[in-house]
Amino acid sequence: PPLPPSRCAAMSDSTTDAIIGVAATVAALIVISFILSKVFIIVNQGEAVIIERLGKFHRVLNPGLQCIIPLVDSPKQFVWRDDRLLADGSIHSDPVNVTRIDLREAVFKFPSQEVYTVDTVQMKVDAVMYFRIADVHKAVYQVDDLAGAVHNVAQAQLKDVFGSKTMSAALQGQKTVNEHLQRLFDKEFTSWGLEVYRIELLDLSPLSHSDTAVAMKEQMKAERKRRAEFIVAEGNKTATRLVAEGEKMCKTNIGVAEQEATRKRSEGAKTAKIEMAKAETTALESVAEEVETDGCSQTDYALFNLYNNFMRDGVAHVSNKVLYLPYDASAVTGLLHRLPAAFGRKQGVATGAAGAPGGADAAAAAAGDAALD
């Protein structure tokens, strides 16, 4: 059955009260959250927040949970740059308003700029600066646009530094330039609460379309060619020196070997001559003993030896094999008669009877035949 109108009205009123209660709870939670967000601020590590009270600097909030007075205290907005690396390698910077200041070391990329050296060479300079905000109060209140002020001062200092140097000095002394810029920037930026660690030159070169760049390329080619030729010459020099040292060592070794061989040959010849002399001495002594044993003098032995050689050579060279002796055979007989005694042959010689006719001639012939034998 349908509910009475009074009961329906009561149910409608209870539903409306429930919805109102939920809405009031949600609104209360939103208000409480908003009030808490205005009262409590969580500061992350490496960040700082400046609080102004009624538009005047009050204090700097350190990392952690901090409490402020809503509607009285408010964070100070800080103008900074948002650097983004594009696809083409360039860096795009947009100014942004932030309330949280990053206290970590950061990199500030200076835009590329053209400077003139003291010898009127136009060069392109790309540099980066590594820095950190050391004093938040100075960084916010001492300068309006910190990023723009840093850029302008750096541009002026770069032009001043390179304007006092020649191109060669700037290219060869980049480390000196970096240290000089670091000292200048640190001195200039200290009043703004910045601490500069170092400056690095990413690119320092003449403009690509200038005559100086073309001349530098030609100079670089010539220098590389000169170095290549120098290296080749040094290699040839070293090779020649090593070959000469090798030949010298080889000749030295050959000389030492020849000297040793000559010494050995000399020692051998010396020993051979000594042995030959000893052998000849022994032979002469043996001959002398035999001659003395046979009862012959050395003079007779020498004469008979010469005669014997004469007779042998004569028989060997005469073609008809005929030997003519002197007519007076008695002299030859006396000579031949003594041959056996000189050469050690004691053979009987047939002689004729004393006083017999032809006895002396027969004896001489027999002695001659013995000598020829």
10 Å Cβ neighbour count for 128?
15
* Helices and strands, counts by H and E, the chain: 10, 12
Predicted TM-score (pTM) above 0.85: no
The backbone region for 68, taken as left when phi is positive above 0, alpha when psi lies in -120 to 50, beta otherwise, is beta
- pLDDT at 369 (0 to 100): 45
- pLDDT at 366 (0 to 100): 44
Dist. CA 270–CA 266, nearest whole Å:
6
The residues pairing with 56 across neighbouring beta strands, listed in sequence order, are 53
Question: 3-class SS at 125?
Answer: strand
* CA triple 99-104-108, angle to 5 deg: 90
Q: Evaluate whether 117 touches 166 at the Cβ level (below 8 Å).
A: yes
Instruction: Note the pLDDT tens digit of each residue in 69-103.
Output: 888 888 888 877 766 656 665 666 677 778 888 88
Residues of the chain with pLDDT under 70: 1-13, 82-93, 208-214, 216, 314-373
Q: How far is CA 275 from CA 104, 263, 283, 326, in A?
A: 105, 18, 12, 45
Largest CA distance in the chain: 219
Burial grade of 349 (CB within 10 A; 0-12, 13-18, 19 or more): middle
Dist. CA 75–CA 48, nearest whole Å:
10
Dist. CA 68–CA 74, nearest whole Å:
8
- pLDDT at 283 (0 to 100): 83
- Residue reference for tokens 């205290």: 73
Question: 3-class SS at 113?
Answer: strand
Reading the block at residue 266, the tokens are 């000399």
DSSP 209: T
Reference 139, options 189, 94, 98; nearest CA is 189
Q: How far is CA 193 from CA 132, 137, 182, 185, 188, in A?
A: 9, 7, 15, 12, 10
